[in-house]
Structure 1
Amino acid sequence: MDDLDRRIVGALMANPRASNAQVSDVVYTSEATVSRRVSRLLREGTVRVIGVLDGEATRRTRSLFVRLRCRPGEAHRSAARLAAWPECGSVKLLTGSVDCIAEISYTSNEHLLAITLEQLPSLDGVFAVWSNQVIRRFATPHSWLPDLLAADLVEQLRGQRLDPWHDPLPDRPATTDPLDERIADLLSHDGRLGWQRLGELCDANPVTVRRRTEAMMTAGALRMRTVVEPESIGLPVNAFVSLNVNPTQLGHAGDLLAQHPSVLMIAATTGDRNLCGEIALPSDAALYTFISDTIGSLPGLQHADVAVALQSVKRAGLTPATPPELRR
């Protein structure tokens, strides 16, 4: 990517469904140039815009982080098998105290029991499993935006959104019907579908489809997200942090981390770690500074484990695109 590409990506991260005209206003180029560049980024798979039917907002699913230790030489195969699970949203291979980490959605305690006590231990090559249930999110990938655009331009784009990119979950579950779910499914594959095309695919009036989509966004049921691998925007050091913080300081620590532009997501969890998240940085030196200054100064910090990601096997339910020069 060149500088203009990165600014366009920043605009799409701030507002995934921003029109080409809205993007051109903040990146200071023509609408035609934006159209051409966005099409290329999407076509090559460098950037993907998706709609996510929020399982927590609709009270359908909850999330679990799992950390796996694998036998020598088995980590890649175990991660690939885990990535094939439909309930698995992300998988990374790591270097550090564990070999693999994944985020998994579950629908009930029975489902969680099957995942943790049957499915995970039965994965070939896995000999140790740790699990941490997500109980509160301080920052999510929907709100992540590294320093690609000026703050006033980010505020301008975010002000045009209807979906709650950073708001807490609604007090009452957001409800959906079959048409809503059809719309969400289509947007999960292409979050920039126009209203006319979306209506055709749903066999419904485009006005109805737009009204339903915007109602789901306003209710918090549907969240839009621009998915990009951090290294493609100049952040090659991707890592997972697992922290123990004094419970009396947990909320304060989570809020502080959520404000940092290097934090993709951070959540309070149960289990042996009570604050877990993902970070992306431009260099090892920046990682050192983040560990020593940002993590080191957290109130109530008791233990910190930082594992650097070697490969993103799956992100946001998607397998990262293969670069064009490697395609066969």
Structure 2
Amino acid sequence: MDDALERRIVGALLAHPRASISQIAQAVFTSEATASRRVAALTAAGTVRVTASLDAEATRRSRSVFVRLRCRPGQGSRTAERLAEWPECGSVKVLTGSVDCIAEVRYTSPAHLLAITRDRLPALDDVLAVWSNQVIRRFSTPHRWMPQLLPADAVERLRACRIDWWNDRVPATAAVLDHLDHQIAALLTEDGRATWQRLGQQCGVSPITVRRRTEAMMQSGALRMRTVVEPEAVDLPVDAFISLNVNPTHLSRAGELLAAHPSVLMIAATTGDRNLCGEVALESDAGLYTFISETVGNLPGLQLADVAVALRSLKRAGRTVTEPPDATRTESRGRPSVPRPDGSIALSV
């Protein structure tokens, strides 16, 4: 990120993805002309992307599973690239640690999940082992991620203007959406800051109709807005995936504590060999050490913690991440497996 003003503007968009230029300018203490120019430059460069998504809980459309793969030495990137081509994969990363790559995969039915885990994943070349962890509760999602880019009072003011559910409330009933609703959601997925006028033209209805439908979906929790930015772009170059085992009696409390930490992009309760999984972004290795030793290490009921640092993000929020021109691809190589007796903490960093 080039300067402090751009960082503040990104913070404003994270707090309120569809904030007006006037609201952004006020939050970051600049003119509307400057705010407009900077927002346009950030989005045109692909540094920032505003998108929408239909909430899986509200619409009962799909569920998610984290898939961790161990690959043959030197083949982590190749496998991750193939995974990134799958439309079901919302995010894909190459890691270093106990596994070589990880993906969050959406599925629509048990049969769909069975086909993915039993047939498609094992069929990938060079995959040695697969672990899957189904998401059963989200304590924090990227929709609420708020690194320390803006003062807390500015964040609160912007969030107070939002209609969509930026926090992690779960709708009590399923939303009923028609063709127009799905059409609007699809357009906002591509451009979350599209104007009502433009959306109306693309849908063949009036801007008032589009706005009414969109706000109804937002108010019901069916449609959530999100600003997507790679953590490295806001000076948080250490991106890591954490997978924990916590005593079930402390699972909710541990999830809530992690969700409140500004370094946590998302954290969810899961099934399988780990019952708490998530992503964190920090400013340095020293920051990661502090997070592991003080935040993770002090979680109630912690039994095991595995931390794998991301070497490369291939896909985020359903779209391929553009790799910087000077980026180099570093692979995690073969490593011996380490026995983990019950109660131990295995940290792979």
Query: Which TM bucket (shorter chain)?
Result: over 0.9
> Could you tell me which residue of structure 2 aligns to residue 64 of structure 1?
65
- Counterpart amino acid of residue 80 in structure 1: E
Q: Counterpart in 1 of 2:336?
A: none
Distance (Å, rounded) in 2 between the aligned partners of 1:177 and 1:203:
15
2:315 is matched with which residue?
314
Partner of 2:259: 258
Distance (Å, rounded) in 2 between the aligned partners of 1:73 and 1:178: 45
Matched to 2:220, the amino acid is A
Q: Does 2:143 match 1:142?
A: yes
Look up the equivalent residue of 2:22 and give its one-letter code: A
Residue 317 of structure 2 aligns to a residue whose secondary structure is: coil
CA distance in 2, matches of 1:49, 1:147: 19
Distance in 2 between the 1:324 and 1:165 partners? Answer: 33
SS in 1 for 2:133: strand
State the SS of the aligned residue for 2:320: coil
2:238 match:
237
Normalization by structure 2: what TM-score?
Answer: 0.92
Alignment-mate amino acid for residue 6 of structure 2: D
Q: Partner residue of 2:175? A: 174
* Partner Cα separation in structure 2 for residue 224 and residue 167 of structure 1: 12
The residue that corresponds to 1:133 in the other structure is: 134
Q: Distance in 2 between matches of 1:322 and 1:274?
A: 32
Measured after TM superposition, the shift of residue 158 of structure 1 is: 0.3
Tell me which residue corresponds to 1:205: 206
* 1:325 shift after superposition: 8.0
Q: Segments of 4+ in structure 1 off by > 2 A?
A: 321-326
2:32 aligned partner, one-letter code:
E
Pair 324,200 (structure 1): closer, same or farther in 2 beyond 3 Å:
farther
Measure how far apart 1:87 and its partner are.
0.8
Separation in 1, partners of 2:173, 2:77 = 41
The SS at the match of 2:67 is strand
RMSD: 1.0
Contact 2:240 2:280 in 1 (8 A): yes
C-alpha separation in 1, matches of 2:226 and 2:305: 29
Residue identity over aligned pairs, in percent, reads 69
Which residue pairs with 2:152 in the alignment? 151
Q: Deviations over 1:22-70 (max 9, x none)?
A: 0000100000000000000000000000011112221110000000001
Provide the residue aligned with 2:77 in structure 1.
76
Q: Distance in 1 between matches of 2:324 and 2:306?
A: 31
Structure 2 Cα separation of the partners of residues 104 and 248 of structure 1: 28
Letter in 2 for 1:303: L
What is the distance in 1 between the residues matched to 2:314 and 2:256? 28
Contact in 1 for aligned 2:242/2:279 (Cα 8 Å): yes
Q: Distance in 2 between matches of 1:277 and 1:209?
A: 35
One-letter identity of the residue aligned with 1:5: E
Compute the TM-score of the two structures, normalised by the length of structure 1.
Answer: 0.98
Q: 1:307 to 1:323 in 2, by over 3 A?
A: closer
* Partner AA of 1:23 in structure 2: I
Q: Which amino acid aligns with 1:13?
A: L
Deviations 1:93-122 (A, max 9, x none): 000000001000000000010011011111
2:305 counterpart of 1:304: yes
**Superposition deviation, residue 324 in structure 1:** 7.2
Pairs aligned (count)? 326
- Counterpart CA distance in 1 for 2:21 and 2:126 is 47
Instruction: Determine helix, strand or coil for the equivalent of 1:298.
Output: coil
